[in-house]
């Protein structure tokens, strides 16, 4: 059962990060068990109207136990960077993924430039909601590109790409 918050939380708001962390961690029952908290306490930690805050040690425990990345992404952003998990499946067709990410990136940059240009269809500004939606898409694309960079760096360091099948001498 995944965590499905009822109240709307703006993208990037601390309570939205906590809600995303809980969802990634397996939902309320899993969080209750991992943190040894009641259902009411868990919901209050993600409630934008509650003053309850989650401790760093609890965030760390959930992240380590479940591999959830929401908190790491948010902290990296606050520190002026980005966090992109790289331990995805090694059998991905990374060239195809990189190509698709490049095509999406080009379309998004075009749409972004169109949004910033004052035309009869656009006021020439991006509002907060539009920026949040664009950030969601860009975050997904950056994750794919970071994975591709990681694979290329391993190849450049002489490591075998796990997604490539070894060529036998008989071929």
Averaging pLDDT over each range in 47-61, 70-84, 99-113, 148-162, which range is the top one?
47-61
pLDDT band at 6 (very low <50, low <70, confident <90, very high): low
| Token pair of 40 as six digits | 């009411």
Predicted TM-score (pTM) of the model is 0.55
pLDDT value of position 24:
94
**Burial annotation 22-41 (CB, 10 A radius, 16+ → b, else e):** bbbbbebebbbebbebeeee
pLDDT tens digits for 108-122? 777 777 777 776 666
Q: What is the mean pLDDT of the chain?
A: 79
For 145-152, the CB contacts below 8 A with 24+ separation are: 145/84, 145/98, 145/101, 145/105, 146/82, 146/84, 146/86, 147/84, 147/86, 147/88, 147/92, 147/94, 147/97, 148/94, 148/97, 148/98, 148/101, 150/86, 151/94
pLDDT at 100 over 60: yes
pLDDT at 2 over 60: no
Span 61-68, mean pLDDT? 94
């Amino acid at each position: 059962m995944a965590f499905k918050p009822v109240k709307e939380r703006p993208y990037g708001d601390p309570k939205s990060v906590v809600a995303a962390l809980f969802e990634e961690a397996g939902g309320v029952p899993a969080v209750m068990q991992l943190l040894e908290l009641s259902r009411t306490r868990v919901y209050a930690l993600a409630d934008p109207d509650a003053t309850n805050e989650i401790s760093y040690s609890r965030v760390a425990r959930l992240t380590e136990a479940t591999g959830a990345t929401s908190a790491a992404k948010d902290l990296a952003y606050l520190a002026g960077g980005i966090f992109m998990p790289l331990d995805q499946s090694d059998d991905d067709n990374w060239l195809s993924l990189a190509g698709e990410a490049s095509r999406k990136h080009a379309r998004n940059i075009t749409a972004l430039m169109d949004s910033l240009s004052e035309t009869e269809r656009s006021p020439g500004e991006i509002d907060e909601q539009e920026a949040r939606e664009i950030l969601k898409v860009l975050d997904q694309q950056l994750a794919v590109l970071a994975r591709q960079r990681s694979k290329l760096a391993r190849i450049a360091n002489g490591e075998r790409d796990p997604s490539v099948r070894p060529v036998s001498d008989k071929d």
